[in-house]
Chain A
């Protein structure tokens, strides 16, 4: 860094720091002898060295004020707190992270309640050496049943709080009564020059970005049961594997899961971006195949497939058999030269453990397989027993990696993903309230997962008032640069 730049940065830091409230630590307090009940819970978590500030708050109904003191590994300290919230300026936070890389920040919290200060047990924030991918995309949508209103695909810079819109369901919707649904954003190798998302109903189609060029395609062919869903880009070739599904849903009258999503039929298809051709990967009419994903080297396609139902249930309606529908994990070798698939191999026999496994994702180093798991079905984000599981791909037949620190008790987790360096696991979880999904991260190293933490927000209370689900979180190493306008032009 040149000297003038350094001066500029120092001046900026000074300015920012002068704008921030650095309260005094209470002169006297009672010891609470417990960890603070901060929201989000960032006590003793491991975070990336480039993550946005972990702003938090004490419960507003119970406390009037909050003061937090951060102690760096070199002993330097800084205090924060404004009302019940602790919001740290980005520049100061990143400076603290840089100085704590590979070490930890010690955090002491005081809370004022009924005019008296309580001091809580200190906790640590471990700062990992490994960064997290800079960007994240998710769809923001109400936890809907059948209908929906406004939805958007948004991208978030994980090193700051910047969130911008990739696309929304308003700009290219000509028929509001019919509506428009946008979903299944997907990227090749965490980059955005080859990506896609689906647009359903009004002006529907699949929007594909091929080397930065945007186009709309219709993936429904005469010989497929539907257009594509749940896309997976091949890591090196311009090929996308999809599931073609006939998805339905039903609603519970008295069950915490509220909604059951199931497929009446589902196949796997392969789309060749270069030739705009769709070929069938598998379409066993008696079984359901779904959620394709590629191994990082592109030599295998992993996917989920149901096991045959017991004889006595085969002609029954799926409404009465849905609890018996269980998916195993399989893979098939892929020959890039001929675009052909080899014989199926069973990767994980979930059904034999009375489980159903979905949404597989292979780690970038090819050593681990993440997936969602519940007792039955294919849509575990709607199942309170849905958890994330991980199995080493070293010939073991069981998900032996302990993910207790990632999963919650009694709330759904689903849609697991690896960061591009394989050190951060991301998933959706309804653990906050059972209804709204949020994004959680967990540090992963040497087969061990650290305590999960919630996607940080500038105002720690913002997720409370944002009545949206963070749907299908996907990592990216660069932002989507194509404007909403450009996307909308190919749809109209």
Chain B
């Protein structure tokens, strides 16, 4: 095996291990804020905008992030391919280590939980196109194909494709043919805003490289720029042959690998990873795992505390062990619903388990609507289907389930759940839906962004078997330091009698 391939393999394995071991919940986080549908309307909505193929491939791959190791492997393969395509520009020489630079920058790009995989695909498509063009002979046909490729690649990969133009256009003579592709790109960028219903700046910096639409994907653009710099260095360097048998390529790789490792580690957000882990465990109702986790490290962030309290309550330990852990007042019990896509989800899980089905539904809905790039969420659709099913709104549940039927990984669940719609007996005997239907609010209240003790009390009094509601009610009084209400609570009173 050539040493260069060995190093690529090592790099790929490092990427896989990093995302699989150190960053798995970032991948789950990515997956839960999109819903890839095998549906022509969904695909059309993507491919009608520049950057479409990269976006489509990015979304397609992101659905596999439901399984962190599969997601990590996909990222490892993509970044390795980018490195191999960059290697062509510098070869096995003293600049060899630089061939890892774009992949490293893309790795840094992906450390941001809101960086989208479509950006990586845009880079890969651009480099692949450039590689393909390098195989074409010089001549008129090549120049014509270049003119065709500019708009096609812009549509497929978005503005990052300008790298392709810069890599393919250098010619010693600055003729009309040299400037034509640039002129074409300029005309395109000038005309497209007239026809596309998207902000103009998005056409210049990328529509779907980052979940925050107004955010410029700096690391992605740095990766794109690095390819040009590397190409220029490779062009002016005459050292390839001299260095090919020396230690220099190995040393350059070691230097880059060390720098890369340090940079990745320093820029990783492990605090966010821990928060995402709590959210993931709550989403998958891993109550035992949560209790094990909090026994080794007590969470001190809002999501962690909310999940911790829910897990304690699910095991009937909330009242006795409430103050064994960090608390954050009511914001750690049932936080107010905020307008973001992340923080309401664990709260919604608590509402759901409590039997506050309408509140869970609303909270999940608000979270989904707050996804900044307007995508939908498999996790949210699933919960919306469940809450509508429990609430008896079968036709609404059906709509969400039919959409989930068009996915790869939620289809089976959707098929099973569709069978339950309208089947009152099956729902009543279902271990989750039957229980929650029994526990659900019977009396009508108004609710807003925060829960009230009256609501919890009513929930408990309407069904004294709802132990979770009781624990939350008591915890509410304890956290608000309302010992008077705590001692007057229904169970405390009966115990005294």
Q: Which residue of chain A has the shortest Cβ distance to B358 in the bound complex?
A: A253
- Tell whether, in the assembled complex, residue B212 and residue A252 are in contact, meaning their CB atoms are under 8 Å apart: no
- B468 located at the interface, meaning its Cβ lies under 8 Å from any Cβ of chain A in the complex: no
Residues of chain B within 8 A of A485, CB atoms compared: 193-194
- A346 located at the interface, meaning its Cβ lies under 8 Å from any Cβ of chain B in the complex: no
- Tell whether, in the assembled complex, residue B370 and residue A147 are in contact, meaning their CB atoms are under 8 Å apart: yes
- B362 located at the interface, meaning its Cβ lies under 8 Å from any Cβ of chain A in the complex: yes
Nearest CB of chain A from residue B59's CB, rounded to whole Å:
16
Q: A427 to B444, alpha carbons, bound, how many Å? A: 29
- A174 located at the interface, meaning its Cβ lies under 8 Å from any Cβ of chain B in the complex: yes
Q: Which residue of chain A has the shortest Cβ distance to B215 in the bound complex?
A: A176
List the one stretch of B82-90, B392-400, B485-493 in contact with chain A: B392-400
Residues of chain A within 8 A of B199, CB atoms compared: 170-173, 488
Q: A484 to B399, alpha carbons, bound, how many Å? A: 31
A250-B448, A253-B445 as given contacts; A435 in contact with B393, CB under 8 Å: yes
- A481 located at the interface, meaning its Cβ lies under 8 Å from any Cβ of chain B in the complex: no
- B478 located at the interface, meaning its Cβ lies under 8 Å from any Cβ of chain A in the complex: no
Nearest CB of chain A from residue B73's CB, rounded to whole Å:
31
Nearest CB of chain A from residue B116's CB, rounded to whole Å:
15
Q: Which of B41, B212, B406, B441 is A462 in contact with, Cβ under 8 Å? A: B41
Contact with B along A158-173 (1 / 0, CB 8 A): 0000000100101111
A171-B198, A174-B214, A467-B399 as given contacts; A250 in contact with B446, CB under 8 Å: yes
- B440 located at the interface, meaning its Cβ lies under 8 Å from any Cβ of chain A in the complex: yes
- B365 located at the interface, meaning its Cβ lies under 8 Å from any Cβ of chain A in the complex: yes
- Tell whether, in the assembled complex, residue A433 and residue B395 are in contact, meaning their CB atoms are under 8 Å apart: yes
- B297 located at the interface, meaning its Cβ lies under 8 Å from any Cβ of chain A in the complex: no
Contact with A along B378-395 (1 / 0, CB 8 A): 000000000010000101
List the one stretch of A138-146, A332-340, A438-446 in contact with chain B: A138-146
Q: A250 to B362, alpha carbons, bound, how many Å? A: 11
Q: Which residue of chain A has the shortest Cβ distance to B405 in the bound complex?
A: A465
Q: Which residue of chain B has the shortest Cβ distance to A466 in the bound complex?
A: B41
- Tell whether, in the assembled complex, residue A176 and residue B214 are in contact, meaning their CB atoms are under 8 Å apart: yes
A170-B197, A483-B194 as given contacts; A175 in contact with B399, CB under 8 Å: no
Residues of chain A within 8 A of B448, CB atoms compared: 250-251
- Tell whether, in the assembled complex, residue A148 and residue B369 are in contact, meaning their CB atoms are under 8 Å apart: yes
- Tell whether, in the assembled complex, residue B395 and residue A253 are in contact, meaning their CB atoms are under 8 Å apart: no
Q: Which residue of chain A has the shortest Cβ distance to B211 in the bound complex?
A: A176
Residues of chain B within 8 A of A133, CB atoms compared: none
- Tell whether, in the assembled complex, residue B197 and residue A484 are in contact, meaning their CB atoms are under 8 Å apart: yes
- B315 located at the interface, meaning its Cβ lies under 8 Å from any Cβ of chain A in the complex: no
- A432 located at the interface, meaning its Cβ lies under 8 Å from any Cβ of chain B in the complex: yes
- Interface residue count on the A side (C-beta < 8 Å): 41
A434-B393, A465-B41, A484-B197 as given contacts; A147 in contact with B446, CB under 8 Å: no
- A274 located at the interface, meaning its Cβ lies under 8 Å from any Cβ of chain B in the complex: no
Residues of chain A within 8 A of B260, CB atoms compared: none
- Tell whether, in the assembled complex, residue A253 and residue B369 are in contact, meaning their CB atoms are under 8 Å apart: no
Contact with A along B193-212 (1 / 0, CB 8 A): 11001110000000000001
- Tell whether, in the assembled complex, residue B399 and residue A252 are in contact, meaning their CB atoms are under 8 Å apart: no
- B39 located at the interface, meaning its Cβ lies under 8 Å from any Cβ of chain A in the complex: yes
- Tell whether, in the assembled complex, residue A254 and residue B197 are in contact, meaning their CB atoms are under 8 Å apart: no
- Tell whether, in the assembled complex, residue B444 and residue A144 are in contact, meaning their CB atoms are under 8 Å apart: no
A147-B339, A170-B199, A462-B41 as given contacts; A251 in contact with B358, CB under 8 Å: yes
- B402 located at the interface, meaning its Cβ lies under 8 Å from any Cβ of chain A in the complex: yes
Contact with B along A250-261 (1 / 0, CB 8 A): 111111001010
- A233 located at the interface, meaning its Cβ lies under 8 Å from any Cβ of chain B in the complex: no
- Tell whether, in the assembled complex, residue B446 and residue A149 are in contact, meaning their CB atoms are under 8 Å apart: no
* 8 Å CB interface, B249-268 against A: none
A148-B369, A176-B213 as given contacts; A253 in contact with B198, CB under 8 Å: no
* 8 Å CB interface, A397-448 against B: 432-436
- Tell whether, in the assembled complex, residue A144 and residue B365 are in contact, meaning their CB atoms are under 8 Å apart: yes
- A1 located at the interface, meaning its Cβ lies under 8 Å from any Cβ of chain B in the complex: no
- Tell whether, in the assembled complex, residue A145 and residue B366 are in contact, meaning their CB atoms are under 8 Å apart: yes
Residues of chain A within 8 A of B469, CB atoms compared: none
- B474 located at the interface, meaning its Cβ lies under 8 Å from any Cβ of chain A in the complex: no
- Interface residue count on the B side (C-beta < 8 Å): 43
Residues of chain A within 8 A of B400, CB atoms compared: 467
Q: A357 to B393, alpha carbons, bound, how many Å? A: 27
Q: A145 to B339, alpha carbons, bound, how many Å? A: 12
Q: A149 to B339, alpha carbons, bound, how many Å? A: 11
- B236 located at the interface, meaning its Cβ lies under 8 Å from any Cβ of chain A in the complex: no
- Tell whether, in the assembled complex, residue B194 and residue A252 are in contact, meaning their CB atoms are under 8 Å apart: no
* 8 Å CB interface, B401-458 against A: 402-403, 406, 440-448, 455
Q: A431 to B213, alpha carbons, bound, how many Å? A: 36
* 8 Å CB interface, A29-66 against B: none
Q: A357 to B448, alpha carbons, bound, how many Å? A: 27
A433-B399, A436-B399 as given contacts; A251 in contact with B214, CB under 8 Å: no
Q: Which residue of chain B has the shortest Cβ distance to A257 in the bound complex?
A: B444
Residues of chain B within 8 A of A467, CB atoms compared: 399-400, 403
Q: A168 to B400, alpha carbons, bound, how many Å? A: 24
- Tell whether, in the assembled complex, residue A433 and residue B370 are in contact, meaning their CB atoms are under 8 Å apart: no
Q: A171 to B202, alpha carbons, bound, how many Å? A: 10
- Tell whether, in the assembled complex, residue B194 and residue A464 are in contact, meaning their CB atoms are under 8 Å apart: no
- Tell whether, in the assembled complex, residue A250 and residue B214 are in contact, meaning their CB atoms are under 8 Å apart: no
A148-B369, A433-B395 as given contacts; A253 in contact with B356, CB under 8 Å: yes
- Tell whether, in the assembled complex, residue A252 and residue B369 are in contact, meaning their CB atoms are under 8 Å apart: no
Q: Which of A145, A150, A165, A466 is B374 in contact with, Cβ under 8 Å? A: A150
Nearest CB of chain A from residue B162's CB, rounded to whole Å:
23
- Tell whether, in the assembled complex, residue B395 and residue A434 are in contact, meaning their CB atoms are under 8 Å apart: yes
Residues of chain B within 8 A of A144, CB atoms compared: 365, 369
- B177 located at the interface, meaning its Cβ lies under 8 Å from any Cβ of chain A in the complex: no
Q: A292 to B286, alpha carbons, bound, how many Å? A: 55
- B371 located at the interface, meaning its Cβ lies under 8 Å from any Cβ of chain A in the complex: yes
- B372 located at the interface, meaning its Cβ lies under 8 Å from any Cβ of chain A in the complex: yes
- A19 located at the interface, meaning its Cβ lies under 8 Å from any Cβ of chain B in the complex: no
- A319 located at the interface, meaning its Cβ lies under 8 Å from any Cβ of chain B in the complex: yes
- Tell whether, in the assembled complex, residue B443 and residue A145 are in contact, meaning their CB atoms are under 8 Å apart: no
- B220 located at the interface, meaning its Cβ lies under 8 Å from any Cβ of chain A in the complex: no
* 8 Å CB interface, A462-492 against B: 462, 464-467, 483-485, 488
Nearest CB of chain B from residue A125's CB, rounded to whole Å:
26
- B359 located at the interface, meaning its Cβ lies under 8 Å from any Cβ of chain A in the complex: yes
Nearest CB of chain B from residue A10's CB, rounded to whole Å:
32
Nearest CB of chain A from residue B452's CB, rounded to whole Å:
11
Q: Which of A145, A149, A250, A253 is B371 in contact with, Cβ under 8 Å? A: A149
- Tell whether, in the assembled complex, residue A145 and residue B359 are in contact, meaning their CB atoms are under 8 Å apart: no
- A177 located at the interface, meaning its Cβ lies under 8 Å from any Cβ of chain B in the complex: yes
* 8 Å CB interface, B3-56 against A: 39, 41
Nearest CB of chain B from residue A151's CB, rounded to whole Å:
9
Residues of chain A within 8 A of B393, CB atoms compared: 433-435
Given A176-B212, A467-B399: 20 more A-B contacts, CB < 8 Å = A146-B339, A149-B369, A149-B374, A150-B374, A170-B213, A170-B374, A173-B199, A250-B447, A251-B447, A252-B358, A253-B445, A253-B455, A254-B440, A254-B442, A436-B396, A465-B39, A467-B400, A467-B403, A485-B193, A488-B199
Q: List 20 A-B contacts (CB under 8 A).
A: A145-B362, A145-B365, A146-B339, A147-B369, A149-B369, A170-B199, A174-B214, A250-B448, A251-B362, A251-B448, A252-B358, A253-B444, A253-B455, A434-B393, A464-B402, A465-B399, A465-B402, A465-B403, A465-B406, A467-B399
A-B pairs with the 5 shortest C-beta distances?
A433-B395, A250-B446, A147-B369, A150-B374, A253-B441
